[in-house]
Amino acid sequence: MKADYLIVGQGLAGSVLAWTLDQRGKRVVLVDAAERPSASLAAAGIFNPLTGKKLVRTWKADELFPFLKTFYSRVEQVLQTRFLHFSTIYRPYRSIEEQNTYLALTADVSIGQYVNESVDDEHYRPYIHNPHGGLEVTGAGWVEVPVFLDAIRRYFRKKGQYVEAHFDVRELDIRPDSVAWRSQVYGKLLFCEGPHAHQNPLFDWLPYNPVKGQTLEVEIDNYPIREIVNQGIFLLPVESNRYRVGATYTWHDLDWQTTEDGKAFLEQKLRMLLKVPYCVVGQRVGIRPATKDRRPLIGLHPAYPAVGIFNGLGTKGVSLAPFFASQLADFLEGRKELDPEVNIERTFSLYYSGKKPA
């Protein structure tokens, strides 16, 4: 047998899963086509325990966040590459009403544990519009996803377990307990194709709901704020005077092209947030692999037990991937069942009815 696992797709999901299985002593072969556009390369990589206008705790935050910090820190240590950054997220209040609402919410310990009790609004005031002050979310940060992906790619290439190829399902020979691809046999095949998954005839019946997102790269001189700032958009420091601004959310025109409308929307929001001048130096686009119920799609094919999927991580892939890759590894090793909220068994009726989601 060539390997225990053949993983198709070396975006965030595939990279995290491949590393997880490899560190458990499994032989993993990664397949990826470099020319194929990747949502992961456009992702800001922010992990944030409190999200949305209503300051909602991220789903499973108490489990996900300790896990992701341990996971990425370990990869950094082993591969001698830095890509994990911790940062508070400053959220200027839009109004007195919002200030009162947020402060009331922080009385709940499940929210309050992620909030800084003492915020230095004057630290931000010369640069950020914050007439009502703001709230700081702790336990947050970001992963430089392209750096992480490159480190994982180099690791598997060095081991001779990385294949640069466009994967064609028609080349597969699916067997009851294994799969064969290009004359090699693998214990299991796991698809981690991100937004391209709907083109896979083995899993095109799953309820995907891809979301197009655009970000801007801007330069801001004389702006010393190193925290992430979030008010409708995020402002993320990536280098000494370079920042990422995002993001848009659209469910139509799902192509890989940036648009002037997207740029104009982000600039309008940025001007409302910033007090200092900026210069746009770049624009990126990605299609997030989201799902209709906003939960990942993880598990084995209903008819082919040697074929599985690890997908649908959406906008929170950086925080979801490590925890659920570990859970999938446990499941594949027969140690425990998958969380019913992520297990694709919840969608099997679509497969058996032969109906593809609209």
Consecutive H or E run containing 91: strand 89-92
Contacts of residues 168-177 at CB distance under 8 Å and 24 or more positions apart, as own/partner, are: 169/200, 169/201, 169/202, 174/304, 174/306, 174/307, 175/306, 176/305, 176/306, 177/305, 177/306
pLDDT of 276: 96
- Three-state secondary structure string covering 172-206: EEECCCCEEECCEEEEEEEECCHHHHHHCCCCCCC
> pLDDT tens digits, residue range 217-228?
999 998 999 999
pLDDT (average), residues 152-173: 96
Percent of the chain with pLDDT over 90: 89
pLDDT of 40: 73
Q: Is the pLDDT of residue 38 over 80?
A: no
pLDDT of 301: 98
pLDDT of 253: 83
> pLDDT tens digits, residue range 233-278?
999 999 889 999 999 999 888 888 999 999 999 999 999 999 999 9
Q: Specify the CATH architecture of the domain 3-42+146-206+292-353.
A: 3-Layer(bba) Sandwich (3.50)
- pTM, two decimals, is 0.95
Q: Is the pLDDT of residue 25 over 60?
A: yes
Q: Specify the CATH architecture of the domain 87-141+210-288.
A: 2-Layer Sandwich (3.30)
Percent of the chain with pLDDT over 70: 99
Which range among 39-53, 144-158, 199-213, 217-231 shows the weakest confidence by mean pLDDT?
A: 39-53
Q: Is the pLDDT of residue 356 over 70?
A: no
pLDDT band at 357 (very low <50, low <70, confident <90, very high): low
β-strand pairing of 184-191 with 3-8? parallel
Helix axes 12-23, 145-158, angle to 10 degrees: 50
> pLDDT tens digits, residue range 176-225?
999 999 999 999 999 999 988 989 999 999 999 999 999 999 999 989 99
Mean pLDDT across the chain, nearest whole number?
Answer: 94
> pLDDT tens digits, residue range 310-330?
999 998 999 999 999 999 999
Contact between 357 and 292 under an 8 Å Cβ cutoff? The reply is yes
pLDDT of 158: 98
pLDDT (average), residues 52-76: 95
Q: Is the pLDDT of residue 358 over 70?
A: no
Domain map of the chain by residue range? 3-42+146-206+292-353, 87-141+210-288
> Angle 315-27-149 (CA atoms, 0-180°, nearest 5)?
35
Q: Is the pLDDT of residue 164 over 70?
A: yes
Rounded CA-CA distance 53/273 in Å is 16
